[in-house]
Each structure stands twice: as structure tokens, then as C-alpha cells.
């Protein structure tokens, strides 16, 4: 075997080790679960409330992340201000900070004794240990993934293309919606799917900031945590449902740009 062949084989072997590490735990759960286990797990009283809460909160947090994150990503991508570097750093912080720390930070911000606690109390609002807290925790941990992907995608839009759109009669806002956004859509969708997946799996910040109350703040990861304490098989079924559902939704989100392109109206 020549030198190139050796390194190629070594690279493949290392890759296979990593892929196995990602795949084998999923397979291990699959082979240890029977059809009856799955039916029993789905019928468990903890399952449906946790699933619905997860779907509801992750949908809302994704919508809010896109709504708040898209203008920010556009500004980060198009502004020449030096402050963009600082803001980018701030946006990336939740990726490197442990979720439990973010949970403590959120409690110190929105909790009764927190920074905004008295203000919220005066307004009659109480956020910790509610579904709103779940959503806020999900936004905090997942939005950096969306913003980074969207910013990177927006940076690929050449300024000249937008200038051409302006010369053709589009205002700056119209050029953004008609040119920059559609061109960046694949990257934005990829970022949104990453953010959604991160929200769906969020555990640490939610546990500390929203608690683990059935029907109120118990999302699927927290339900798995609760199930683990008494019934491992139940936890495995919950996990498999999360893996299956997450995989399907992620694939659908990734296929969205292609679907849009294929179904787009053909010129007459």
C-alpha cells in the first residue's frame, strides 16, 4: 500500500469510528425495545402532555428566534460597524456556556429576586416555572445556532446584487425580501433546523429555570429524565420517539428549499 492509500484508509477508519459512536447508541435503544414497549410507552400518561408541550414550545421559540434573529443576522452580515464583532461574540456565548449556567442566569434575571423580578411583579407577571420560561430558555440556548447560520448565509449575498435590485426599482427593504432573503434561504433553513433541534433537546436551562412539572413545564427531555428514575424501558421509548420525530422534522426542514424550488410556478 502506498503512502496516499494508507492515509486514505486510516482516514476512512477514523471516520467509521466516529459515525459508529453517533449511530450505535441509537441502534442500542432500538434493538432493546419491542413493539409492545413502544405501544405501552406511548400510552403512558406522561407521554402526550410532554410531547405536546415540546412541540408547542419549540414551535413558538423557533418562530421568535427567526423573527428576532433574522434582522440581527442581516445587520451583522451587512454592517461595517466595529460593534458587530462584539455582538457576534455575545451571540456566540450561549454555545460555550453550560446550559445549567444559563438557567441560573435566567433565574437571576426573571426570578422574584432577580434583576427584572420587581418590575415583572409590578406588571403582574411571573415567568419562572411556567411554559414561558421553557420558551425563553429554548430561545437563549438555540438562537446562536440560527443567528450564526443566517449571518453566514447573508454574507454570501453580494452587495452588487442588491444594488442591481435597487436600480430595477426595489427599495432597500423590498430588495432584502425579494433578493437577499430568498438567496439566503437554504442557509437560514439549515440554521432554523439546527436551532429547532437544539430547542427540542434542551434540558439543563429548562430544568433550572422552568422546573419539571408534568403538564406545565415537563418537555420530552425532562420526561425522559423523570422516566429514568423509575422505568428505563419507558425512558428508551420516549427517547426513540424523540429521535424519530426529530429526524423526520429535521429532514423536512432541510428539504424545504428544494420543495419550494420544485413547486415554484413555471413561466408561461
Partner 1 sequence: MTSWRASVRASVGTFLLDAAIEGSRQAVALIGPNGSGKTTFLRFLVGAVHPEEGEFILGNKSLVDTQKDVNVPTEQRRVGYVPQGYGLFSHLNVLDNVGYGLVGGPNRLDLSQRHLKARQILENLGCASLAGRRVAGLSGGEQQWIALARALVIEPELLLLDEPLSALDASKRRKTRKLLSQRLQLFGRPSILTTHDVRDVAVLGAHIYVLEKGRIIQSGTLDHLIRKPASDFVAEFVGPATLEDYT
User: Does position 266 bind partner 1 by CB under 8 A?
Assistant: yes
How far is it, in rounded angstroms, from Cα 146 to Cα 148? 6
**Beta carbon nearer to partner 1, 166 or 214:** 166
Total residues interacting with partner 1, rule: CB under 8 A: 22
User: Does position 81 bind partner 1 by CB under 8 A?
Assistant: no
Residue 149's alpha-carbon distances to 73, 144, 154, 199, 249, in angstroms, are 9, 8, 9, 16, 18
**Beta carbon nearer to partner 1, 145 or 176:** 176
The one among 167, 229, 230, 262 contacting partner 1 by CB under 8 A: 167
User: Does position 182 bind partner 1 by CB under 8 A?
Assistant: yes
User: Does position 155 bind partner 1 by CB under 8 A?
Assistant: no
Which burial class, exposed, middle or buried, applies to 28 when counting CB atoms under 10 A from its CB (0-12, 13-18, 19+)?
exposed
Supply angle C-alpha 141, 147, 153, rounded to 5.
145
For residue 78, the minimal CB distance to partner 1 (Å) is 13
User: Does position 109 bind partner 1 by CB under 8 A?
Assistant: no
* 103-126 as b/e: b if 16+ CB within 10 A: bbbbbebbbeebeebeebeeeeee
**Residue 79: φ, ψ to 5°:** -80, 145
User: Does position 35 bind partner 1 by CB under 8 A?
Assistant: no
**Beta carbon nearer to partner 1, 2 or 167:** 167
User: Does position 163 bind partner 1 by CB under 8 A?
Assistant: yes
Smallest CA-to-CA distance from 212 within 221, 199, 56 is with 221
Interface with partner 1 by CB under 8 A: which range of 1-9, 18-26, 97-105, 175-183? 175-183
User: Does position 179 bind partner 1 by CB under 8 A?
Assistant: yes
Interface with partner 1 by CB under 8 A: which range of 68-76, 115-123, 161-169, 241-249? 161-169
User: Does position 178 bind partner 1 by CB under 8 A?
Assistant: yes
Check if the beta carbon of residue 184 is closer than 8 Å to that of residue 154. yes
Tell me how long the chain is.
268
Structure-block grid coordinates of residue 202: 434542551
Interface with partner 1 by CB under 8 A: which range of 6-14, 162-170, 203-211, 226-234? 162-170
Contact positions toward partner 1, by CB under 8 A? Answer: 158-161, 163-171, 174, 178-179, 182-183, 185, 266-268
Amino acid at each position: 500500500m502506498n503512502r496516499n492509500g494508507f492515509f486514505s484508509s486510516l482516514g476512512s477508519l477514523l471516520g467509521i469510528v466516529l459515525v459508529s459512536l453517533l449511530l450505535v447508541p441509537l441502534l442500542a435503544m432500538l434493538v432493546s425495545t419491542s413493539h409492545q414497549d413502544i405501544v405501552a410507552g406511548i400510552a403512558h400518561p406522561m407521554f402526550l402532555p410532554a410531547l405536546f408541550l415540546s412541540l408547542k414550545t419549540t414551535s413558538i421559540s423557533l418562530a421568535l428566534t427567526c423573527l428576532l434573529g433574522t434582522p440581527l443576522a442581516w445587520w451583522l452580515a451587512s454592517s461595517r460597524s466595529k460593534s458587530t464583532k462584539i455582538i457576534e461574540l455575545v451571540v456566540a456565548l450561549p454555545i460555550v456556556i453550560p446550559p445549567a449556567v444559563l438557567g441560573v442566569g435566567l433565574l437571576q434575571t426573571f426570578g422574584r429576586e432577580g434583576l427584572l423580578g420587581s418590575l415583572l411583579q409590578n406588571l403582574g407577571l411571573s415567568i419562572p416555572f411556567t411554559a414561558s420560561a421553557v420558551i425563553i430558555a429554548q430561545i437563549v440556548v438555540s438562537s446562536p445556532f440560527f443567528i450564526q447560520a443566517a449571518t453566514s448565509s447573508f454574507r454570501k449575498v453580494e452587495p452588487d446584487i442588491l444594488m442591481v435590485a435597487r436600480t430595477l426599482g426595489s427599495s432597500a427593504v423590498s430588495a432584502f425580501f425579494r433578493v437577499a432573503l430568498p438567496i439566503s434561504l437554504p442557509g437560514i433553513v439549515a440554521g432554523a433546523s439546527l436551532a429547532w433541534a437544539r430547542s427540542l433537546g434542551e434540558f439543563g436551562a429548562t430544568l433550572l429555570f422552568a422546573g419539571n412539572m408534568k403538564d406545565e413545564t415537563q418537555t420530552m427531555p425532562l420526561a425522559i429524565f423523570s422516566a429514568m428514575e423509575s422505568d428505563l424501558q419507558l425512558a428508551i421509548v420516549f427517547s426513540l420517539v424523540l429521535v424519530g420525530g426529530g429526524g423526520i422534522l429535521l429532514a423536512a426542514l432541510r428539504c424545504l428549499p428544494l420543495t419550494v424550488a420544485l413547486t415554484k410556478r413555471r413561466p408561461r
